[in-house]
Structure 1
Amino acid sequence: MTKDKKQSKKRGSKVIYGTTPEERFNEVHGMTIVEWQAKEEMFKAKTGMSSDEWYRQQVNSSTPIDYLIKSNGGVSQDDIELVRDLQELGLNDSVINVLLDYVKIVNRIGFIHPLVREMGECWLKKNIVTMESAIAFVREEWDK
């Protein structure tokens, strides 16, 4: 591929055409990296913590059911059973919260119970058992 032709990368159902990281970031987030950093600074000034610190606090301080209620506005009986299944696998609550967030972002049609359970099993096999390792894994997957 020549430099004149734009490279494309598929992100979800949207094709990203940017040739530089800055262009791709702008297409995905609708703002430049500098604007994103300014927004992050405003958030930090307002809350006293970075968005990463805030996210970690939210994930760590809620049970998966409470976390789903906050993020979705409610839970179904299937959601409760899914959380119980993930807990029975041996995942702790903060890892379950990160997993559910990841599935919600990547899969826009909702939680497909067998798929999420399989992902939970996969995370256990990969020794993703802490919130930090779960967040690192999600970021690595997102970057792919």
Structure 2
Amino acid sequence: MRLDHGGLEILGIEECRALLAAAPLGRVVFTDRALPAVQPVGYAFAGGHVIIRTYATSRLATALRDAVVAFEIDDYDAAARSGWSVVVVGTARAVTDPADLAGLRALPLHPWAPGEREHYIRIDPRIVSGRRTR
């Protein structure tokens, strides 16, 4: 087991990917009007990418257009004082290819907010890291 300088266990890439595939809700961190912003999102992890659904004219869709973003998931048990966190950093791009869209529509992807959301965004991970405390 590898530990970081703060004593947290460093998660390997495969464990990070397994956690990404299992969690239903995450947070995307982006820049909105030159300021940092965070928004919870339902997502899917497919083909090594984070996939988000929104509507095309949303603040999120506009801010994520070809932008470098962070995406984070975590879990924490307050009673046991244990938990984990996985962070992905990469470029977000709208998915426009009809064949790609057909595949994404088949994913079990449930947006966090209600309403129709037919605009798909793919985050291409460049950095994936995770930590755990026990």
Question: TM-score normalised by the shorter chain: which range applies?
Answer: under 0.3
Q: TM-score normalized by structure 2?
A: 0.23
In terms of Rg, which structure is larger? Answer: 1
Q: Where is the strand percentage greater, Structure 1 or Structure 2?
A: 2
Q: Which has the higher contact order (CA 8 A, sep 6+)?
A: 2
TM-score by length of 1: 0.22
